Amino acid sequence: MEKTILVTGGTGYIGAWVVKKLLDKGYKVILTLRNKSKIQSLVFLKEISEKFAEKIEFVEADLLKEGDFDEPASRSDAIIHVASPFKLTFKDPVAELINPAVKGTQNVLNAANKSERVKKVVLTSSVAAVHGDNKDMTELGIEEFTEENFNQTSSVKHQPYSFSKVTAEKEAWKIAEQQDKWKLVVINPSFVMGPSLVGATNSGSFSFMTDLLSGKYSMAAPELYFGFVDVRDVAEAHILALENDDADGRHILSVGVMNIKQLSDLIEKLYPNRFKLPKAKAPKFLLLMIGWSFGLTTKFVSRNIGWPLKLSNKKSIEKLGLKYAPTEKIFKDMIDYMIENKIIN
């Protein structure tokens, strides 16, 4: 029987790739939207609505409205819950990050509870739910972060995005453990990069790359380490988690870790003299004094700048069978996309 998958957040950076992969593999997709009028305004949605007319259905649903997902969940065999805000700048972290992440997770998973068909829920979380500050690794006395680790250092006032992710994921596990109708599998991507199907939107990934390429750090870059992963690999991990009966628990996704200077060197190698990239690392003492000009708090600088980071991707490879795209390909494809779509000059 043809399987129907309910997808939330399918108009976003990650979710659009998830929807594309599902449709390409022959699944029927129910895609929730806050406003169905988006279908005509977003090229991606218009194209898939025409190409896969018999395979895709659009349903209006609001993450913050209880019961909005009950009806589509009743007709779905599984749910892929991607929808959650990723913003690097915000005014009210509770309203813009934490409430949508937590209440959205509650509403979607409660819909799974009411459904007689849903057998699996794949949840998009983040490595931000694994750790808050890079210094956490040293303080915990571990050599790398694994799926066993949960972020214990973020809060509403310090790293609120990370706090929203760990709070929402913990709520998901709490709901999952109180029932036996469906299985929860969680995907924990590191910093997601690569080309988009839906434009730059308001994704923090494109904001970061635009800042880097346009010269925001041209004088010197903070020694800040990130794990990186291709958006297409993140989408593939969701499909593997959906299809693999043995998939369980959490899965960190990261092809490798680099600091901003190392990333800049890679980009310079790919595009010689094209962008205003940093030539040096910014001294930590200087960032402690002027970090506010980059939007960095003193606490963030002291707990993240210069601290090493290592993320284990072993489980994603061994249990999901995920094959990672090379780092150079991730950034070349992303930057080519940004140039082609005039996101950068």
Could you list the active site residues? 165
Q: Where are the beta strands (DSSP E) in 19-144?
A: 28-33, 56-60, 78-81, 120-124
Nearest of 277, 280, 189 to residue 237 by alpha carbon? 189
In the chain, % helix, strand, coil (3-state, to 5) comes to 45, 15, 40
Torsion of CA 55, 61, 63, 69, to 10 degrees: -70
Distance between CA atoms of residues 49 and 40, nearest Å: 9
Distance between CA atoms of residues 308 and 306, nearest Å: 6
Distance between CA atoms of residues 306 and 224, nearest Å: 6
Q: Are 64 and 105 in contact (CB under 8 A)?
A: no
Pairing of strands 225-230, 256-259: antiparallel
Tokens matching residue 134: 């890079």
